[in-house]
Structure 1
């Protein structure tokens, strides 16, 4: 629900005038950019940009540069621009963090830029995007394959980090931030508080709910919002208010953090690790609790919402169930939408602490009502019992294929409703964001009583079903097809045979374009350390999953809707003993951080694919190899050779309107710094369904760095 007449409201995709829509997009981009910079202007010394108050996140200097880098990366990937603005900075600030195991957050591995460099970089990117908006073609309504959609994607991405960056700032020492009296009014906290109202459960009638954003919806959406899920929601009761600090304090006073039986196994492990005794933004000051807001501390405001992670909220619900002898839980996604349906459709008048329109903090839980319930949207995000998954019909966006899929693992729970700093897409009821259950956001919860005693959860699909991903998994981990040996095994065996024949060292290997990881696992038998890098978390997550959980599951189409189900394990592949030799990293192979160096061998898988920028990739390879180090380059022979225009581009051609380096150009470029040794063909078979296979001839060329 939005407060209209506010520049933080995400634009409509339709309209009658292209000129008016261009002006609207430009205004939204400017507002997004200046709001983000206004937040970072609260930091009063450059040293604070490099602190890490949240060990599961990068320092703030990363996020200051990251959102601008995002624009450049997506514009390059979509071929709307053809060169980078600042190659080094864009390598360091490219990949964010979802606190997953492959995120190497050792600060010594990052050569962070200085603050003025990032400011100048942001100025350059702003000018570039601004010019694109002025000159791009616009068709209405705006569709997902248009440049205007990419501009909106960049804006909404920056608005996400407006929220996540403010959480990190809230963890900085107050001395690092400007005092409230000296800041813009939009960063002023709420100041009034008192005792909390007594919470109560209100009945919600049974009703059918259809979840999912339609393709005809008139606002920007992330991929996980589209599709459809129909749910018949049974009658339940929901708390009138969000759980207040006062209500949560009763749980603490009852020994809630010290009684393991209230906590899930995951919660107990988190407690053991963190030694937490209270919510993250509370502090015990000589027996009196105080709460940290963005720019100030204050005596614990008892009638403000308790801001906790899912594990803390779940423990509270277990305690509340014990106290009331009822079944208390957080709402599911469908139940939360039932509360939204009970609210008036008159969004113009719907009051809420959201969109930076009220306070730069949460506020009393009884200040903003929408019908019978308070804070259905706004104030703080509300944890859900539902783990995020794709709806039926889910499809990734080709320019951001790993926005959602890494979270479809049953370990990321939805947060709904938005917070005081939620803007743009985040304020819509259709938005779907999810975090690991131990993670801190501006998030609290309300509770429900399930009258039938069961939490009505929709199962998370633990079998990967995305067709393209499953084809990759089958290609890497599947059985032989058409009497052709598994492709990853072919690659690893051929590579090691050349290493052995040449007497090369086997201490350290870099595997670029590792996809779902099988080749890295095969090579781990021979090399002491392997860095496996892929551009997309959509693929690399499966290598990580296999390393962590020892198994992964996927499906294959047999015919029509009939599928086969597959489970892969490290033990069955006889790869278990060496899995810890591999470090998986998400990154742009064409623009890696300097830490990736000192290798005895580098394997570049399918170097001519469009996700690479071959010129930049090849220019850095020799720098990452030790002297006499070996380079193995896999390339596909198959290219559509309908030449529309010849062009001298690294010895390549312009094919179907796109610059491609071509095999001749690849070899010509490599010969500048490498000695060509030999090349051998390989055959790759990808199973489309039970009866259809794609057979591709590839080439592995072997090169040695010149001394």
Structure 2
């Protein structure tokens, strides 16, 4: 198995050409390993089956990682032409059960597997060519085009592991043996778990932008915590140890489960771990492609809710308080193990990177200074919800990697698994999943007096998103009406039919809710998940909380609710989606109104949007455009600007005149007006802008 796995690329050292070769080898190795994972599927028909109802068919994931490369390269203007616009929309989003992940099968027409294979080959060729010709300097930093290549590679590494989990959840008849994925063949009785004392210390988490390895945005920044002495289990919880919980009625005893856990039990009807199979009254174990006798000394595979329930059970049984480790406590466990940033020197004594097995192995096989499986075997659920470190900044190419998980619903997983490679096995990596998700994950427990990581209101601290929250949901300033409300009023005035509306470039969603006062259904779409999660949260949690900057480092917290806004009866009429206005899914259609708010001067190809928007409107449909026409090359390559320049004869080209030329054959211009808006930056600094509104009726 080690022949097709590989360690990640460092960002420094070697010559440019040596580094180029290293990245190229790493890319092809990753692409090969990902496709090897899909050889586990019995035949092509299985590509169209789901491992569980909350996931797409496997064909989606097969295409997803390739489209990721193209979509990110497009968004960062490294390339300007798509390979297959249909695929790059179809396979773009939908992997984490977010409200904006569209799992409605009627909206999809999945392509042939051969077509997706051909597409993947085309993407492989494109990326290979880019690696060989892109200019870059060493060390590679996040503003480098080569960083986006590394981002695509590490993204695919994540999906190597998560796809293996999905395949393992498939009925056994859909999965076949693949020689490269050989599982561990030995097991014994489960060892007795003992507690080991870990000395407390001041813990500093996070890393600087000068770090020598690729990192996701959530890894950067800083966080400090003083951790007291605590005790940690020597081993991961084994199948044998967890069996006591199952046999003692743990899944039937409500007091061991919190509200979320009880909801999981009701929905799943679980009576034992997901990868246990009961045959003739005896529990067996589902490995990747076979069912085997229960390996008592392998780590149990459970979700966080099951791990928490076990801790409550053990706490009651022994009259002690057992918890999952925190992120800070795990840092001290890692430190005790004397592990480095890249655990290459330790690969022979850790079950990671497919080095030993394509499965778990006994929990007492790989020790680290008295604590076993500090890394490897299975991920370890923590009690810490993933949150940004101080100084967190999103990467513009992938703003939805971390931010949607900062909701106190995603728990950090620690330590990596047998299927982890690349960034997944790095010291600073931070990955989190919803508590009911199944991964290659188990747990260990601690006895501790340290913080319990209680949840509360989650305040939006991203400066740009907070600014838009204030813009759309905050106070009005200098007598200027709320822009979202004003736009919705104009749209409602000119709308002829009111069945369905599209709020395109919806940002944090205020106008979408306002349109719902007139329309039966409203869909809000924005390119940025950072924005649409605000409106989505308002629907789901009933409130939006954000930080409003006042002066320097001083800020105030604000919170608005559905009730405050008068949207209680409107919320269910609205849905929010992530999408690219220049390449929307075919299912986004049949609108009576499309309102594109301050959008066209931020699109990478506004003409592409305008040339096709009529196809998404019903007869007598209304198109409403607003824009201050602040064209900039960072958003739109100059050759794609619609206005704001002089033509070859020296004549000024105005955007509104170009809009008339472009839209004339398909639309009748009904109305033009100026509409001002004010965005608060601080208590004493505001942006005062005038947007031009143009209203068009489909001919």
Give the conservation status (yes or no) of the 8 Å contact 2:381–2:442.
yes
1:311 aligns with 2:338: no
The answer to whether the 8 Å contact 1:650/1:669 transfers is no
1:509 lines up with 2:501 in the alignment? yes
| 1:50 pairs with one of 48, 51, 54 | 48
Aligned partner of 2:404 among 385, 406, 415: 406
| 8 Å Cα contact 2:606/2:642 also seen in 1 | no
1:355 aligned residue:
353
| Residue of structure 1 equivalent to 2:588 | 596
SS, match of residue 131 in structure 2: helix
The yes-or-no answer on 1:106 pairing with 2:99 is no
Aligned residue number for residue 523 of structure 1: 515
Provide TM-score, normalisation by structure 2: 0.95
**1:666 and 2:647 are equivalent in the alignment:** no
- Residue in 1 aligned with 2:689? 696
Unaligned 5+ residue runs, structure 2? 648-652
Deviation at 1:640, TM superposition (A): 6.0
Aligned with 1:61 (options 59, 62, 66): 59
Q: 1:645 to 1:196 in 2, by over 3 A?
A: closer
* Match of residue 419 from structure 1: 417
User: Any conservation in 1 of the 2:606–2:640 contact (CA below 8 Å)?
Assistant: no
Residue deviations 1:218-275 (CA, integer Å, cap 9, x gap):
0000000001111111001100000000000100111100000011111112112211
State which of 449, 468, 472 in structure 1 corresponds to 2:468: 472
Note if contact 2:605-2:640 (Cα within 8 Å) is conserved in structure 1: no
The answer (yes or no) to whether the contact 2:2–2:353 under 8 Å persists in 1 is no
Q: 2:669 aligns with which of 673, 676, 688?
A: 676
Are the equivalent residues in 2 in contact too, given 1:608–1:662 (CA < 8 A)?
no
Q: 1:348 to 1:597 in 2, by over 3 A?
A: closer
CA contact (8 A) 1:653 1:662 kept: no
Q: Is the 8 A contact 1:546 1:569 kept in 2?
A: yes
Q: Tell me: CA distance 1:494–1:618, structure 2 relative to 1, closer, same or farther (3 Å).
A: same
Tell me if structure 1 keeps the 8 A contact 2:601–2:641: no
CA distance in 1, matches of 2:638, 2:557: 47
Residues 464-484 of structure 1: CA deviation (Å, up to 9, x unaligned):
111101111111111111110
Q: Which deviates further from its counterpart, 409-418 or 667-676?
A: 667-676
Note the C-alpha offset of 1:641: 10
Equivalent of 2:201 in 196, 200, 207: 207
1:622-658, Cα deviation, whole Å (9 max, x unpaired): 111111211111122334699x998587678599xxx
Partner residue in 2 for 1:686: 679
Alpha-carbon distance, 1:607 to partner: 2.6
SS of match in other structure, 2:383? strand
Q: Distance in 2 between matches of 1:488 and 1:612?
A: 24
1:191 matched to 2:189: no
Which residue does 1:293 correspond to in 2?
287
| 2:568 paired residue number | 576
1:539-597 per-residue CA deviation (whole Å, 9 max, x = no partner) reads 10010100111111001111112111111111111122111101111122221211111
Quote the Cα distance in structure 2 between the aligned partners of 1:517 and 1:494: 17
Corresponding residue for 1:332? 326
Counterparts of 1:466 and 1:679, CA distance in 2: 34
Matched, 1:222 2:220: no
SS of residue in 2 equivalent to 1:208: strand
Q: What per-residue deviation string (whole Å, max 9, x for no partner) do you get for residues 490-525 of structure 1? A: 1011111122xxxx1101111111111000001101
Superposed CA deviations along residues 171-193 of structure 1, whole A, max 9, x for unmatched, are 112222222xxx233x1111111
C-alpha displacement at 1:6, in angstroms? 8.3
Q: Quote the residue 1:382 is aligned against.
A: 380
The alpha-carbon deviation at position 429 of structure 1 amounts to: 1.6
Q: 1:140 to 1:458 in 2, by over 3 A?
A: farther
Once residues 296 and 629 of structure 1 are traced to their aligned partners in structure 2, the CA distance between those partners, rounded to angstroms, is 56
Distance in 1 separating the partners of 2:293 and 2:42: 24
Tell me the equivalent position of 1:24.
22
Partner of 2:650: none
Q: 1:142 aligns with which of 140, 143, 148?
A: 140
Residue correspondences, number: 689
Q: Does 1:457 align with 2:419?
A: no
Q: CA RMSD in A?
A: 2.2
Equivalent pair of 1:630/1:702 in contact (CA under 8 Å)? yes
Structure 2 residue corresponding to 1:637, chosen from 608, 615, 629: 629
TM-score of the superposed pair, with normalisation by structure 1: 0.94
Q: Secondary structure at the match of 1:279?
A: coil
Structure 1 unmatched runs, 5+: none
| Residue aligned with 2:251, SS | helix
- In structure 1, how many angstroms separate the alpha carbons of the residues matched to 2:3 and 2:500? 57
Conserved? CA contact 2:223–2:389, under 8 Å: yes
Contact 1:638 1:697 in 2 (8 A): no
The CA deviation at 1:5 is 10
1:481 matched residue in structure 2 = 477
SS class of match (1:473): helix
Structure 2 counterpart SS, 1:571: helix
